[in-house]
Amino acid sequence: MPNHALPDEDLLKRLADTLYQQGYLALPDALPPPLIRTLQNRIQALDNAAFHPAGIGREQDYRHLKRVRSDRIHWLDSHDPATRSYFDWMEALRLGLNRTLFLGLFDYECHFAWYPQGARYQTHLDAFRGNNNRRLSTVLYLNPDWQTGDGGELVIHAPLPEQAVRLPGLATPSATPELLRIQPLNATLVLFLSEVFPHEVLPAHKPRYSITGWFRVNTSSTRQADPPA
């Protein structure tokens, strides 16, 4: 009997095909409604103090950081029963993508993100090409009544020229053309290659909630401590 709480073969194949062709995708109504409700309840049960300012690399000037990124985050624990079904869904996605795309995705880490009114995240890469084990980024939105005009869109930009050297998390000085603009609508799932696509979150005009995560590959390099806590 199919398990309706997990992505089916047909969906996994569609996601893998699109990722193979363009390296990014946005899928509306991606996860089952009961699972989305569970995640909404979990995020609502957290008080503001459970969210902390996110770091970008190490030794960053805090004022600079706030200009680049003003969301607040709460790391998810894969052993927490409240979010178990989300990790199960992502594990099925990981196995499905590995089977068809040979990505070698090894594990998954994720956090809730809360963008208070006015918060944004300027153009950045999630991983530094060849030097970070984050391979595929995921974003799942948890905003039941998001309207056009509420801002907070995710903008995916074209890849930087190969020779451009960028540090992860830092705003890129010159933007590449816009490929896709995504409204943070409830249950929309976004996937993109972490090392390839610069992206930004436009200022949100009301509180905006999501789960951002990364599938990682198992690199032998131990010089990079990732993620920063």
- State yes or no: residue 154 binds ligand OGA (CB under 6 A): yes
Report the nearest approach of Mn ion to the CB of residue 199 (Å).
Answer: 6
Distance CA 150, CA 220 (A): 43
Report the nearest approach of ligand OGA to the CB of residue 149 (Å).
Answer: 17
Total binding residues for ligand OGA by CB under 6 A? 9
**Cα–Cα distances in angstroms (integers) from residue 24 to residues 37, 188, 201, in the given order:** 26, 13, 16
Start-to-end Cα distance in the chain: 40
Q: Which does 186 bind (CB under 5 to 8 A by kind): Mn ion, ligand OGA, none?
A: none
Q: Residue-wise over 49-75: b if at least 16 C-beta within 10 A, else e?
A: eebeebbbeeebeeeebeebbbbbbbe
- State yes or no: residue 188 binds ligand OGA (CB under 6 A): no
- Residue of 97, 126, 132, 156 that binds ligand OGA (CB under 6 A): 126
Report the nearest approach of ligand OGA to the CB of residue 159 (Å).
Answer: 15
- Residue of 195, 201, 204, 213 that binds ligand OGA (CB under 6 A): 201
Distance CA 42, CA 192 (A): 25
H or E stretch at 110: strand 107-115
- State yes or no: residue 24 binds ligand OGA (CB under 6 A): no
* Contact (CB, 8 A) for 216 and 132: no
Distance CA 142, CA 134 (A): 23
Of 186 and 210, which has the nearer Cβ to ligand OGA? Answer: 210
Of 66 and 99, which has the nearer Cβ to ligand OGA? Answer: 66
Interface residues with ligand OGA (CB under 6 A)? 113, 121, 126, 139, 154, 199, 201, 210, 212
